[in-house]
Amino acid sequence: MTLALVFNGPEKWYGNILAKAGKKPYRSWLQQNCLLNAKHERILAGYLELNGSFKAFGYVQNEGGVSGAVRYALEIDTIVKQLAPGSKGDGLRIPPPDSTAPEFDGYDIAQGKCRDAGDYRYRMWFRVRKIEKMATELSPETFRYYDEDSPGKVLRISHSAHYYVRLPGPAGEAPTQRKARPGFAEAADLEGLLKEIKILTRSRSRRLRDAVLREAKGRCCVCGTDYSRVAGGLGVKVLQVHHLSPLSQRKEAAPTKAEDLAVVCANCHMMLHSGGEPPPAVADLRKLLNR
């Protein structure tokens, strides 16, 4: 299982980080007065060494006792703390590591963490490599505690500054306990978060597409493979229509003729669009494949 952190703070806290991180360089800092559990810190340090970052989430507190929600996804790439001389766990309060940290504001005083701007110090700082507000907020019950003594127990947010949760992934020991660098089979990451994306795309003629596909009779005009004979005829599903003159180069809508199109398989289509601008001609790619 993979360890992640859930931070607990007000909306303004994450908003300040997001505003600061939106400027170049894309970095900011998140402050904590509570140190990490030593065992979990070792695991997270292992993620930093192997992957360069670890996952975290931002739980937003609601006012008036109303339950909040997890609304932010973060990536942390650095942890900074300083222990008192001769101490094994007493963290000293230290200032922001650099100028990319959010500016001191009234929140720090209201929470009783700092007396004034000159006292802008915390026991631990997490450098945020990436932060984004999720399109769909998550209930804390979406997560399960990481600790082995509470397997399957859903997350309950109270007054703690952060919580240790597990992400979906292969079972196994923490990276710091592995003798070898994890291989491909062990790689895991969080997917499935909803994101809102707005795009503009150029219209294409379905009637013209169907006509040239029928004329091709299942054959890619680049590699020459007859996909009507592949997988009992299912192979024709990989055939696509390629514009010999890219639509992206048109400044305005214009008629397209069948002779302006070529039927190619998905592999050849990818190669046609991976050779720079302008893309290679169909005949040139055919020569390369036939060498």
Query: How large is the greatest C-alpha to C-alpha distance in the chain, in angstroms?
Result: 81
DSSP 115: S
Fold of 206-289: DNA Binding (I), subunit A (1.10.30)
Residue 106's φ and ψ, nearest 5 degrees, are -65, -20
What pLDDT is recorded for position 84?
65
Domain locations in the chain as residue ranges? 2-186, 206-289
Provide the whole-model pTM.
0.55
CA distance 82 to 66: 36
Residue 42's φ and ψ, nearest 5 degrees, are -65, -40
What confidence tens digit (pLDDT) does each residue in 33-49 have? Answer: 888 988 899 999 989 98
Please say whether the beta carbons of 259 and 208 come within 8 A: no
Residue 221 has pLDDT above 90, yes or no: yes
Residues 6+ apart with CB under 8 A from 205: 256
Give me the amino acid identity at 225. Answer: T
Tokens read off for 165: 């949760």
Over the chain, what is the mean pLDDT? 81
Fold of 2-186: 2.30.130
CA distance 123 to 80: 9
What confidence tens digit (pLDDT) does each residue in 45-69 have? Answer: 989 988 889 999 999 987 655 578 9
Residue 175 has pLDDT above 60, yes or no: no
Query: With bands split at pLDDT 50, 70 and 90, how would you rate the model's confidence at 186?
Result: low
Decide whether 2-186 matches 206-289 in CATH topology. Answer: no
By three-state DSSP, how is residue 9 classified? strand
Residue 176 has pLDDT above 50, yes or no: no
Query: With bands split at pLDDT 50, 70 and 90, how would you rate the model's confidence at 157?
Result: confident
Query: With bands split at pLDDT 50, 70 and 90, how would you rate the model's confidence at 109?
Result: low
Tokens read off for 172: 């196994």
Query: With bands split at pLDDT 50, 70 and 90, how would you rate the model's confidence at 266?
Result: very high
DSSP 226: B
